[in-house]
Amino acid sequence: MDRILVIGALGQLGSELSLALRDIYGRDNVIITDIKEPSGKLADGPSEILNAMDREKLFELADKHQITQVYHLAAILSAKGESDPKFAWQLNMDSLIHVLDLAKEKNLKRVYWPSSIAVFGPSTPVDKTPQHTVMDPNTIYGISKLAGERWCEYYHNKYGVDVRSLRYPGLIGYKAKPGGGTTDYAVDIYYKALEEGKYECFLSENTYLPMMYMDDAVKATIDLMQAEESDVKVRSSYNISAISFSPKEIAESIKKEMPEFEISYSPDFRQKIADSWPNSIDDSSARSDWGWSHQFDLDKMTAEILSGLKELLNNQTT
């Protein structure tokens, strides 16, 4: 039986992915870790406190729980990383190297580590960005993710570590608050729509970015990790995509459900970050190699988020 360690399990992705993994592998076989105690559904199962930079504690927990797979999700994201770039680099890089060393020394079955569209930059083709292309990131988050991709491929080629990765677009969910990314507007807009009926966006109205509903992100991650090793042909990180839209288009989608919703625009420093990223992604390698396909378009995502978020907010006030 696989024994899975999730690092950074209380984040936006980790909180939903951890529950999905427990559904598949059993509650007691998925050990979640973060720098604070879990609550709610995540507390119903084994957990540990872990600073992702603590190599000794990581190895100790791997032995204690007889870990066979690691999902390493802890990171400082794009916008937040710019406020303290040296710490963002240290956390993002040191924690990855510790996990790769663990996989090498303990002969782990499989490792997952997420990359991002932040690896691309101003010189990257912006439309249907190919799997292999110019990569010149200009944020510390993107720089660390590009370096991480090279480390992952190096450990696979040099030591045979079965490490797998996806270049996530902007991830949109409502069950956990986002953690400081440039695409966070596409999460916050739904909260503000229900709570205030209006939203001031920190990006301009026609800023297109690749996006993905959280259910699709969880599905993509599990599909990749369950794929046959021979089908995983990219060992840096796979392009992955679902939908691309602008703030204006997501506002129009919300208005189909809430006609009175209003949006205004006040671009800040995150606009420059968004302008360096692609408008859309070519993920044909993921689709052909291991059968990736997404399930949510913009309107389907909007309807599901508003419905689920209404219930969540109502439960918080009762």
Residues annotated as part of the active site: 141
3-state SS, residue 27? helix
Longest dimension (CA), the chain: 58
Burial 66-98 (b: 16+ CB within 10 A, else e): ebbbbbbbbbbbbbbbbeeeeebbebbbebbeb
Half-sphere exposure (CA, 13 Å, Cβ side) for 101?
12
214 within 8 A of 171, measured Cβ to Cβ: yes
Cα 50 to Cα 27, 47, 142, 270, distances in angstroms: 19, 9, 24, 30
Instruction: Give rounded-to-5 percent helix, strand, coil for the chain.
Output: 50, 15, 35
For 118, other C-beta atoms within 10 Å of its C-beta total 28
